[in-house]
Amino acid sequence: MAERRYRVFVYGTLLTGEDNHCVAAPYVRAVCPGKVNGRLYSVGPYPALVLGEEGEVEGEWLTVTEEGLKAMDELEDYAEGRDDNEYERIWVHDAHQPIEGYVYVYLPEKATGLPIISSGSWRRREEKT
C-alpha cells in the first residue's frame, strides 16, 4: 500500500535548516520553494502568517507522510475542531505556481499589534511595528 502524502507550506522554524525542521525531516519526501499571499508577523522566536491579498510570504512546500503531518500538527499545537488552537491548518494555493496544500495560519485578530516582518521572509526578517 502506498504511503499517504500531504503538501504543507512552511515559512518559519519548519523551513529546511531552521530550528524545528527536525520535526518534519524524517517524513519529508520532497521540498519545493514557494510563496503565498499574505503577511508575516513575529511572535518572538517564531512567525505567524495571516493570509490575504496584501504581500507575499516566502517559504517551502514540504511533501510529507501522514506521520509528518501529525508531527507538524503537534508542534503547531493544532487539533482539528478545537476552539483554542494557536494556529489553524487550512488549504492554500501558491501565489505563482500550480501547487496547493495545507498551511498553518494565525487569525487576523490574533496578529493585531504584532511586529510585521516586512520582507515576507523568516530568513530575511526585519520587524516593523
* Active-site annotation holder among 53, 58, 74, 76: 76
**H or E element, residue 50:** strand 47-65
Looking up cell 516586512 gives 118
Sign (positive or negative) of CA dihedral 61, 67, 69, 72: negative
Q: Are 120 and 56 in contact (CB under 8 A)?
A: yes
Backbone angles phi, psi at 26, to 5 degrees: -65, -15
Task: Give me 44's grid cell.
Answer: 518572538
Known active-site residue 100: no
Active-site residue set = 76
